Structure 1
Amino acid sequence: RSRLEPIKKVAKTIKEHLWGILNAIVLKVSNGPAEGLNSRLKMIKVRSRGFRNKERFANAIYFHLGGLDLYPDGITR
């Protein structure tokens, strides 16, 4: 096995994704927010130990990530 094989593989990967890399740098965009949301959704699913139907999963998402203020009047966090 050649020492250059890993370098060639990296070069090929960069070549295949060059436009995406350049767009991310120029436009300063990231998939970080999407990954963060996916992580939070996965945590809801794990903590509940699964859902029997999609409606209950959607309700759990709304409850945990909906941003509702559920505290009574006069009580602050």
Structure 2
Amino acid sequence: MNAVVLEVSNGPAEGLNSRIKMIKVHSRGFRNKERFANVIYFHLGGLIFYPEGVAERYLPARL
């Protein structure tokens, strides 16, 4: 009911949870929670680690 009235969705949260679950599955486990959190930040943080010329040439433009 609230989704219709407030016009909000939990889709973005579910998408993020799905991506975190895939990281967990592909890694086959972590030794502790801190390492797991670091991997999530690394993969989902949105950082670009390529040199400037490479990022401009090969990666799609970011908004």
TM range (shorter): 0.7 to 0.9
- Aligned-pair identity in percent equals 79
Count residues with an aligned counterpart.
Answer: 56
1:46-65 Cα deviation digits (max 9, x unpaired): 00001110011011001100
C-alpha displacement of 1:73: 2.1
Corresponding position: 1:59 with 2:34: no
TM-score, structure 2 as length reference: 0.82
Q: Distance in 2 between matches of 1:73 and 1:35?
A: 33
> Unaligned regions of 5+ residues in structure 2, if any?
none
> Unaligned regions of 5+ residues in structure 1, if any?
1-20
* Runs of 4+ residues deviating >6 angstroms: none
Q: CA RMSD in A?
A: 0.8
TM-score, structure 1 as length reference: 0.68
Structure number with greater Rg is 1
